[in-house]
Amino acid sequence: MIPRYSRPEMTKIWEPENKFRIWFEIEAHACDAQANLGTIPEAAAKRVWERGKFDVERIDEIEAEVKHDVIAFLTNLAEYVGPEARFVHQGMTSSDVLDTCLSVQLCQAADIIANDLDQLLEALKKQALKHKFTPTVGRSHAIHAEPTTFGLKLAGYFAEFQRNKERLILARKEIATCAISGPVGTFASIEPEVERHVAEKLGLKIEPVSTQIIPRDRHAMFFSILGVIASSLERLAVEIRHLQRTEVREAEEFFSSGQKGSSSMPHKRNPVLTENITGLARLIRSHVVPSMENVALWHERDISHSSVERVIAPDATIALDFSLARMTGVIEKLVVYPDQMQKNLDKLGGLINSQRILLELTQKGMSREDSYEAVQRNAMPVWLEGKDFKALLKNDTKIREFLNENEIEELFNPDFHFKHVETIFERVFGLNLA
């Protein structure tokens, strides 16, 4: 991932220094287990921990010759450890190291993303509570439907990202697995106890059947969840972008002092942050299909997945980390315009109350078909000519047979739409927030 969309903590996970450190820990813990089993001398295992080092540039230099990254690492490690290095990697394969390392890295990445989600959830909750009863129009097909509150909108996103947090926890559990099983996963050259020991030391569980590699359905699950989280981010980003449109202008991204919106038009205040998140969501989702295609490897192993994961693992996690942090900043600083929301509510002359009229007419004895026709007949002049819906209803003789002026007036009371806001908030946030 390019530096523009990278944050240091997540980026460090995918740097060679962290990768080789994990490789070393896998090999060193495996040596400890081998020593406990009597396969190698205890002194050799101790020597690995005491003298074990690596040099990234030297590893690259060796790999340029041997064309094998794990061998290059082991060769460099031996330069520091000395003769006892011959006991390192006993009975192991490259996949034992590479796959277990990737599990650790993905767990590290998942922990950062989980923290990112917590921060976004906190920002959404704060804004939802602030605007619990801020009236705004709800839209279906992007067309005015019925009143809702801006707080309810945000509560819906909170609930969605809460689900995403639960999904991420499951994805982390799915990927937190260790494979130290030797060639084709039979443990012929290495005892299962070594795998158990390494897994315990790294905070992983053992892979029941590794076939030399960790099955890629686990990775497909992980990247799929990242794609779902990205899609949720895009949904929220698109909502903010729509609300910031000139014709709507109910909410917008914070525009800082000195910020410029356009190189040519000085008046512009563009939703660039949420547009950016929308684009990155497309990128993150693009990694889901390759991760699924990685599942179908040849027999016990091949490495067609390797090049894919070397790209998508850093890029997907780095991009999602960046996007979540960016969205948190957007929500924390979101500029909301309640007066404009009310203006938009009033824009269609009361048409947002059409269902109330329909239902009340049926309650009073008019058939649903006749009720629908009567309400629609009065709604169309409001759409086409800008007339007042309430006035038209009051002057409709057929409707007046069922509803008097006061009853029609009461049907336009906006409080009707907000009577269960508290109930929904209690469901979402798990407590009575009245």
Fold category of 6-78+88-257+268-342 in CATH: Fumarase C; Chain A, domain 2 (1.20.200)
> Average pLDDT for residues 199-218, to the nearest whole number?
96
For residue 141, name the pLDDT band (cuts at 50, 70, 90): very high
Domain map of the chain by residue range? 6-78+88-257+268-342, 351-411
The domains spanning 6-78+88-257+268-342 and 351-411 adopt the same CATH topology: no
**What does pLDDT average to over the chain?**
95
> Average pLDDT for residues 13-35, to the nearest whole number?
98
Whether the predicted pLDDT of 67 surpasses 60: yes
Rounded distance, CA 244 to CA 250, Å? 6
Residue keyed to tokens 């009567």: 374
Whether the predicted pLDDT of 256 surpasses 90: no
Structure token digits, residue 25: 């820990």
Is residue 141 annotated as part of the catalytic site, yes or no? yes
Whether the predicted pLDDT of 400 surpasses 60: yes
Whether the predicted pLDDT of 434 surpasses 70: no
Dihedral in degrees, nearest 10, Cα atoms 40, 43, 48, 50:
170
Using alpha carbons, list the distances in angstroms from residue 290 to 79, 211, 311. Answer: 38, 21, 10
Q: What is the CATH number of domain 351-411?
A: 1.10.40.30
Whether the predicted pLDDT of 432 surpasses 70: no
Cβ contact 112:8 at 8 Å: no
Whether the predicted pLDDT of 184 surpasses 90: yes
Rounded distance, CA 289 to CA 76, Å? 36
> Average pLDDT for residues 120-133, to the nearest whole number?
98
For residue 265, name the pLDDT band (cuts at 50, 70, 90): confident
For residue 96, name the pLDDT band (cuts at 50, 70, 90): very high
For residue 111, name the pLDDT band (cuts at 50, 70, 90): very high
What percent of the chain shows pLDDT beyond 90? Answer: 92
> Average pLDDT for residues 107-129, to the nearest whole number?
98
For residue 269, name the pLDDT band (cuts at 50, 70, 90): confident
Q: By mean pLDDT, which of 172-176, 268-272, 316-320 is the weakest?
A: 268-272
Which pLDDT does position 430 carry in this prediction?
Answer: 86
